[in-house]
Amino acid sequence: MPIVPPSYSTLTAMITPALFMTATGSLIISTSNRMSRIVDRIRQLNEQGDSLSRGKSDLDFPAERLEHIAAQLNHLVRRSDRIRQALTLLYVALALFVGTSLTTAIHVLVGSDVLTVPTALAIAGVTLLLLASVQLTREAYAALEGNQAEIDFYKELRRRRARG
């Protein structure tokens, strides 16, 4: 059986997963950047906590600061878990979109009328993209909660200093 050149409809069908791949790739990059910021913050807090616990810091209220650092580290662990889950979902979604594009091309080359595989892969990929977006939204809210905890801690330090 001779291989028939793909038609424009085939190319069009293969473009849709490519758009999803591009969107997913963008989310992977931004999510990786968010993970890097969390890792950097964890390292910074570890260094600050280490300095405070060894008495090598001029900061006031060291016990309160150490307690606050421990709470922040716990919070950052939860955030990093969400980011890790989102990244896993995004990478699997990307693989599913690549599979969608590939099985669409194979469908055309083989001439089979079975479109369930690329359709199922696309549906699974979009579902994982949705779940990753939910995780990223939860992580964004957690980041804002962490910011509020920082602000509250700073305000408490100012109150204590004002009291003398």
Give the whole-angstrom CA distance, residue 129 versus residue 86: 9
Residue 148 has pLDDT above 90, yes or no: yes
Segment 41-51 shows an average pLDDT of 96
Segment 101-118 shows an average pLDDT of 81
DSSP-assigned letters across all residues of 33-83: HHHHHHHHHHHHHHHHHHHHHTT----S-HHHHHHHHHHHHHHHHHHHHHH
15/68: higher pLDDT: 68
Q: Could you tell me the two tokens for 77?
A: 């662990």
Q: Name the phi and psi angles at 114, rounded to 5.
A: -90, 105
Kindly report which listed range (3-12, 15-24, 71-80) carries the lowest average pLDDT score. 3-12
* Tens-place pLDDT, residues 48-73: 999 999 989 888 999 999 999 999 99
Residue 77 has pLDDT above 60, yes or no: yes
Over pLDDT 70: what percentage of the chain? 91
105/147: higher pLDDT: 147
Average pLDDT for the chain? 90
CA distances from 15 to 32, 77, 106, 111 (A): 25, 38, 15, 19
What pLDDT sits at residue 5? Answer: 54
Give the whole-angstrom CA distance, residue 21 versus residue 14: 11
**Which of 150, 139, 161 is CA-nearest to residue 37?**
139
Residue 1 has pLDDT above 50, yes or no: no
Give the whole-angstrom CA distance, residue 147 versus residue 102: 44
What pLDDT sits at residue 49? Answer: 95
